[in-house]
Amino acid sequence: MRKLLLFLLVTSALTVKAQDEKTDLDIINKIIKEGTANSQIMDIAFHLTDVSGPRLTNSPGYFRAANYAVTQLKKWGADKAGLEAWGDFGQGWQLKKSYIAMTAPYYKPIMAFPKTWTQSTKGLVKADVVVINVKDSTELAQYKGKLAGKVVLVNRVDEYKHSFKPDANRYTDDELKKMADFKPNPQPQGPGGNQQNFARFGAAQRLNTLIKQMITEEGAAAYLTSSPASHDGTIFVQGPAGNRVDFTNGKPSVLEIAVSFEDIKTINRLVNMGTTVSLDLDVQSEFTGSDVKGYNVIGEIKGTDPKLKDEVVMLGAHLDSWQGSTGATDNASGCAVMLEVMRIFKTLNLQPKRTIRIALWSGEEQGLLGSRGWIKNNVGDRVTKDVKPEQGKISAYYNIDNGTGKIRGVYLEGNSAVQPIFAKWLEPFHSVGASTLTLQNTGGTDHISFNELGIPGFQFIQDEIEYDTRTHHTTMDSYDHLVPDDLKQMATIVATFVYNTAQRAEKLPRKEMPKPAPVRQ
Amino acid sequence: MRKLLLFLLVTSALTVKAQDEKTDLDIINKIIKEGTANSQIMDIAFHLTDVSGPRLTNSPGYFRAANYAVTQLKKWGADKAGLEAWGDFGQGWQLKKSYIAMTAPYYKPIMAFPKTWTQSTKGLVKADVVVINVKDSTELAQYKGKLAGKVVLVNRVDEYKHSFKPDANRYTDDELKKMADFKPNPQPQGPGGNQQNFARFGAAQRLNTLIKQMITEEGAAAYLTSSPASHDGTIFVQGPAGNRVDFTNGKPSVLEIAVSFEDIKTINRLVNMGTTVSLDLDVQSEFTGSDVKGYNVIGEIKGTDPKLKDEVVMLGAHLDSWQGSTGATDNASGCAVMLEVMRIFKTLNLQPKRTIRIALWSGEEQGLLGSRGWIKNNVGDRVTKDVKPEQGKISAYYNIDNGTGKIRGVYLEGNSAVQPIFAKWLEPFHSVGASTLTLQNTGGTDHISFNELGIPGFQFIQDEIEYDTRTHHTTMDSYDHLVPDDLKQMATIVATFVYNTAQRAEKLPRKEMPKPAPVRQ
């Protein structure tokens, strides 16, 4: 996911005071001990990353990880664990071969990674590079008839920026204080001063769409692009450029390849000086499986209190990743934390009053598809706001999807009534850096699917570490980029929040149900 | 090169005062204007990097760059410009294909780069991975008979370190002050407290040598290693591990591949858990050329003063690089600066009193071979210290080989008599950050070849930028990692130093000739 601060709805005045909250420090200390001294989180993370491989939704890697999760939940003694279809996604996709090299004017391996759902080459293809250098669609016409069989890139004028700032970061006390002091703006912000930027962006987008259309129609061998995040050997790579691909139809679009900034600029400069640049391309990928339904992993530990056991505390994270690496920080970290929480519950035999339900979602990277599908099947319709009884039974949903950094606090999503409750719950974790509550919300991931239907869904504030600089949707999102001690801290805090929510006399306070409104599908 | 602080010989007391030095500010201002407003340095750098390709000594890329340099020197009007043999090196070597991927337990492209002078595969080879995990040579015996046709790596226990410090750095005022305040220690330091470390290092080295010997004898498919510098997609790669290869015999050693830390650890963990890890390898390289002599580029602008024109000011940098990229900061940057200095001299028609001689060396990365060969042919014997008349005619040698960062001052190599002279010469450059003189010396590159025979040879203090963190001997040492403004500043300072040395009434003061002593060949 990519976080995004959104405007928010303010909830009613505080009705709960921190001193009223009762917590069981004995249990919390057991959780901390089990999650620290006996942690299995790195072994879980290893299986979700190295052992499973990339976990693009419905790919074999996704199912390896999903089946591992189910097996572990059963092994630990969960009362329920299995794959659950949420709706139609489309086939899986996986890379079978990727060989990309410059062969003229001299040999050079090209640092690059093919984009999901794009075409294979017919074996090893040799192709010269054409650089499209145009200001507008009129100028684009000069390339008509010249792109068949060529490798195409669009002229780049931006420059490499040396990193005088660290790749890895933790929140400073000042930054956390600013988050804590945040006061929500009740007025949603319009485009305002950004209108001009939107217009420029729109024109560039339209030109890019026309370029991609021409590349496709002419039958180019491949379309090379490079994100500003693709430097130093790290490649940022996900789906094809431009309009969102229809990944449900099993028809790949023109081969697109994400290339390192250094290599695309070298090729670009050589072509611009009049040199013939030739590439060898051998890219093979395949659509996988015949079942187009998408599947989440759902597991449960049944509640033990006769009056409360039908109520539910949910915890979750998306299990799917992009293809460039094994999605360690996006989001094996979140899944490993949630699985470790389930292990801690069963190992300590915690006997929660309410039912605990874990959900590992698929299709998050394509638009929260797995969580929204599950919500639609079980909770209600996010457009009409018609709900089923389950909507009233889920006390809270806790999500992790901000990378590998330890928890520093919670985004309250404007739900100020939970502030004193969470303040109390965080007390045992002040010493490990988690004490900040902010009314800010954070978009882009699966807690939204719950908030959309009035169920309190929360994301945690986590240290960035290398999320924005190195790992997010890149070839570097691998096991070694995880921070073990941070993951352990996360598991103990989430387990505590889940336990406290399960044992609490009342469900967590809710914001008002959002009004039904046209929602962009 | 890699810089290394060495113990040093202290020169005699100061004999020159800064106020006695005469400089021509009018000329210096012309140099600054030409090197800044009319700079061609990035075009030169482009031709040495992107256009030429990797410049391993005697490879086609080396000769493309060397011939370009000769052509430019002639075009600018140098009185002499050509390739000059310095002795035997051996054949060139270049990569023709590199495809390395994991195919089981799932498909994953492996970030890796073959090492120089190592073998090709016989087409596409499929091989399983064996991890050697031993404490000593006794344990190593268990692998005998098990390595034929396998890909081998040695078990790694080190861990990825997240970068909480910036990749790119400039010297702070404090750091520069410490360098300026440096007082040489007249006593060379013995191994002292480091003896234990040396012993441990020695044992590890011996074990590694045995491992490599076994890998070679058994006929392994490939030997994978990873430097701690190979992370985030950046691969550190040069020659084979262990003993220095005999690169003059044209016989490649067992295929060795430098692998990213993330990928080698993933493979290592999977094998350690009992998973069969299979790789596809298709690595093709070739030895190039039949002429085994090594060649430097030598160019001259003749002196114009009847009494001084037989004396020489030399400037140089090594033109050869390793193979992983195009050696932008090691050392196209130094060569581009020195060529730009020659261009500035000819464009401004500076008419130096003494002769200006540029030398772009080869074989530096294999032990300063080009500069030492040239010195042996023209100046004297570094072992016996027997010298030819030329030794007395070279006033100074200026070298650039500390990356792309701008000049902050000069390493005086213990030659304190030049301190007041250089202090005066740096005055016009205080405003652009160059004002530090340190008695420290810095090893590892071609100025040593001159100092060994009593000729004042200097390296400049340069900002590190990403030299140690990203570019030194890596796949990231490419054009985009250069800093244009820094290169321009360097050219203006070096041109000024060369001009001032050429015009000065006397040659620069010298340290005593080092005593003849056994030198490790």
Contacts of residue B257 in chain A, CB cutoff 8 Å? none
Report the alpha-carbon distance of residue B215 to residue B102 in Å, rounded.
20
- pLDDT tens for A356-386 read 999 999 999 999 999 999 999 999 999 999 9
- Domain ranges across chain A: 18-91+291-503, 92-288
| pLDDT value of position A253 | 86
Architecture of domain B93-288: 3-Layer(bba) Sandwich (3.50)
* A147 burial type by CB count under 10 A (0-12 exposed, 13-18 middle, 19+ buried): buried
Contacts of residue A159 in chain B, CB cutoff 8 Å? 480
Report the amino acid identity of residue A489.
Q
Report the alpha-carbon distance of residue B277 to residue B271 in Å, rounded.
6
DSSP secondary structure of A108-140: EE--EEEPTTBPPPSSSEEEEEEEE--SSHHHH
Q: Is A4 helix (H, G, I), strand (E, B) or coil?
A: coil
Residue count (chain B): 521
Kindly indicate the confidence band of residue A9, based on its pLDDT and cuts at 50, 70 and 90: very low
Does residue A195 register a pLDDT over 70? no
Does residue B42 belong to the interface with chain A, where contact is any CB pair within 8 Å? Answer: no
β-pairing, B457-462 vs B407-411, is antiparallel
Segment A480-493 shows an average pLDDT of 98
Report the alpha-carbon distance of residue A238 to residue A322 in Å, rounded.
6
Report the alpha-carbon distance of residue A326 to residue A52 in Å, rounded.
8
Contacts of A334 by beta carbon, 8 Å cutoff, 6+ apart: A317, A318, A399, A400, A401
Token representation of residue A228: 């500003």
| pLDDT value of position A184 | 79
Contacts of residue B97 in chain A, CB cutoff 8 Å? 101, 107
Q: Which residue has the higher pLDDT, B229 or B71?
A: B71
Picking from B49, B131, B167, B267 by the largest number of A CB atoms within 10 A of its own CB, the best residue to mutate is B167
- pLDDT tens for B220-256 read 999 999 998 899 999 999 998 754 556 656 677 899 9
For residue A197, whether the previous peptide bond is cis, meaning omega lies within 30 degrees of 0, is no
Report the alpha-carbon distance of residue A282 to residue A285 in Å, rounded.
10
Q: Directed axis angle between helix A484-503 and helix A419-426, to 10°? A: 130
For residue A105, whether the previous peptide bond is cis, meaning omega lies within 30 degrees of 0, is yes
- pLDDT tens for B462-479 read 999 999 999 999 999 999
Q: Directed axis angle between helix B25-36 and helix B333-347, to 10°? A: 120
Does residue B8 register a pLDDT over 60? no
- pLDDT tens for B403-421 read 999 999 999 999 999 999 9
Mind telling me how many Å the CA of A419 is from chain B's nearest CA? 32
**DSSP 8-class letter at A485:** H
Do A18-91+291-503 and A92-288 share a fold?
no
B 217-246 residues inside an 8 A Cβ radius of A: 231-235
| pLDDT value of position A25 | 95
Report the alpha-carbon distance of residue A26 to residue B464 in Å, rounded.
53
Reply yes or no on domain B18-91+291-503 having CATH 3.40.630.10: yes
The backbone torsions φ and ψ at residue B269, rounded to the nearest 5 degrees and listed phi first, read: -65, -40
Query: By mean pLDDT, which of A501-515, B8-22, B431-445 is the weakest?
Result: B8-22
8 Å CB contact between A110 and A259: yes
Which of B64, B101, B233 faces A234 most closely, judged by CB atoms? B233
Tell if the CB–CB gap between B479 and A53 is shorter than 8 Å: no
Does residue A476 belong to the interface with chain B, where contact is any CB pair within 8 Å? Answer: yes
Segment B1-6 shows an average pLDDT of 45
The backbone torsions φ and ψ at residue A268, rounded to the nearest 5 degrees and listed phi first, read: -55, -50
Mind telling me how many Å the CA of B223 is from chain A's nearest CA? 20
> End-to-end distance of chain A based on CA atoms, in angstroms?
18
- pLDDT tens for A230-241 read 999 999 999 987
| pLDDT value of position A202 | 83
Kindly indicate the confidence band of residue A4, based on its pLDDT and cuts at 50, 70 and 90: very low
pTM of the prediction? 0.94
Segment B427-452 shows an average pLDDT of 95
Query: By mean pLDDT, which of A187-201, A337-351, B504-518 is the weakest?
Result: A187-201
Segment B146-152 shows an average pLDDT of 98
| pLDDT value of position B60 | 98
- pLDDT tens for B195-227 read 666 677 788 889 989 999 999 999 999 999 999
Which of B61, B232, B270 faces A232 most closely, judged by CB atoms? B232
Picking from A42, A131, A478 by the largest number of B CB atoms within 10 A of its own CB, the best residue to mutate is A478
Separation in Å, CA B186 to CA A266, B8, B380, B464: 49, 7, 27, 28
Count of C-beta atoms within a 10 Å radius of residue A519: 11
Percent of chain A with pLDDT over 70: 91
Reply yes or no on domain A92-288 having CATH 3.10.25.10: no
Q: Is A355 helix (H, G, I), strand (E, B) or coil?
A: strand
| pLDDT value of position B391 | 97
Tell if the CB–CB gap between A233 and B260 is shorter than 8 Å: yes
B 341-380 residues inside an 8 A Cβ radius of A: none
Contacts of A222 by beta carbon, 8 Å cutoff, 6+ apart: A121, A127, A151, A152, A254, A255, A256, A257, A279, A281, A283
Mean of pLDDT over chain B: 92
Tell if the CB–CB gap between A262 and B53 is shorter than 8 Å: no
Tell if the CB–CB gap between B113 and A109 is shorter than 8 Å: yes
Segment A67-85 shows an average pLDDT of 98
- pLDDT tens for A288-316 read 999 999 999 999 999 999 999 999 999 99
B102 sits in which H/E element:
strand B92-104
| pLDDT value of position A251 | 72
Segment A322-332 shows an average pLDDT of 98
Does residue B9 register a pLDDT over 50? no
